[in-house]
Structure 1
């Protein structure tokens, strides 16, 4: 069986009209956020910048790619000076993960991710295609995008913590944010984050169940 991965390819929305320094700040924030994915017990995401406002990250556990994309989105929305980014998830096998970074990586996952970004409407923020998906998966991601577009800065900061696959407690998140557990719950409820977490868990369970019966493995 071939092993599959997910690749997230992104570009920054409105980068040509960005205030001075905004693009660099956004890229630095994305790089740091991608580094935080190691706290999810994942191998390094190997954040790689290309084409000025373009970037890529690797998600070795493909079932977690939508969760990772929403996490990156939350980190950007929580920062008042960061710009938004479109993100295309491609899931499939790979031929090479490259050398020092992903600039020379090759394989279907990378191709699907790049083509998906090129085909995305400028009005969309998230897309997904590749192996292990049904017709419903893009629809679910579309609904999740509509929720995250409405996050306030505070809701996004809480969502970034809540999206950890270990499901941190309200007290855990409150300690990081420096607010009460009740205030954390208020932010999560306002941002529909509990519903988002349930949807992501269902996505991940369905993906892994399909992997067990398919011709590929994670």
Structure 2
């Protein structure tokens, strides 16, 4: 039996040992909440089963692998708004089990690829991606996204986390401004500085390509 492809995102906070425990806990709670929003992107909505590991580590699962890069960007932006970062490794492949109460006892190729990818990542890297359907171009896109996000200010990351958090529509400047309590012009300054227009375009095209590949798999 051919098992469906899933995406597993495994990450750990950068320089977490320099942070007080309450700040690490707050970051993990923010990731958990953001992962809950990511769950609603999928059709049908599906729990990402956010699981915390070893204090500063975390993991989620997506039944729609095409959303993996957007999820990584939004989760990174969520942390960036708090002045923090995470390395993130995406593994795409089948799963044998998604675990019992959480992902701590999950198993399968997607989990192996995600974990191995994180182990191999340089301290300065932010996003890695691997899998049987993953191309070198996918890996280069992940590298470029990670490099771009590494230059965000906290204010830019805060705006990006909101504007990029919908794969099915464009969230307006007015909507983001209402949430943040600032003017649309102020939002525009932040999202332009963050490169959100280009990032959104890349994510939409990547998602469309992956959805097409899933509908028309290679023989």
TM over 0.5: yes
Whether the 8 Å contact between 2:97 and 2:107 is mirrored in structure 1 is yes
Whether the 8 Å contact between 1:35 and 1:45 is mirrored in structure 2 is yes
Alignment coverage as a number of residue pairs: 214
Q: Which has the higher contact order (CA 8 A, sep 6+)?
A: 1
Whether the 8 Å contact between 1:4 and 1:92 is mirrored in structure 2 is yes
Distance 2:53 2:200 in 1: 31
Whether the 8 Å contact between 2:7 and 2:68 is mirrored in structure 1 is yes
Provide, for residues 29-86 of structure 1, a one-character-per-residue CA deviation record: whole Å limited to 9, x for no partner: 2112212223424312111011222110111211001100110000101124xx3211
SS at the partner of 2:11?
strand
Whether the 8 Å contact between 2:126 and 2:147 is mirrored in structure 1 is no
Corresponding residue for residue 162 of structure 1 = 163
TM-score between the two structures when normalised by the length of structure 2: 0.91
Gaps of 5+ in 2: none
| Deviation (angstroms), 1:161 | 1.0
Evaluate the alpha carbon distance shift between residue 133 and residue 20 of structure 1 in structure 2; reply closer, same or farther with a 3 A threshold. closer
SS at the partner of 1:133?
coil
SS at the partner of 2:6?
strand
Whether the 8 Å contact between 2:66 and 2:207 is mirrored in structure 1 is yes
Distance 1:188 1:103 in 2: 36
Distance 1:131 1:206 in 2: 16
SS at the partner of 1:188?
helix
Provide, for residues 169-214 of structure 1, a one-character-per-residue CA deviation record: whole Å limited to 9, x for no partner: 2222222111222221221111101100111111111112222232
Whether the 8 Å contact between 2:69 and 2:203 is mirrored in structure 1 is yes
Runs of 4+ with deviation above 3 angstroms: none
Whether the 8 Å contact between 1:132 and 1:211 is mirrored in structure 2 is no
TM-score between the two structures when normalised by the length of structure 1: 0.92
Distance 1:204 1:132 in 2: 13
Distance 1:91 1:160 in 2: 23
Whether the 8 Å contact between 1:133 and 1:207 is mirrored in structure 2 is no
Distance 2:118 2:180 in 1: 33
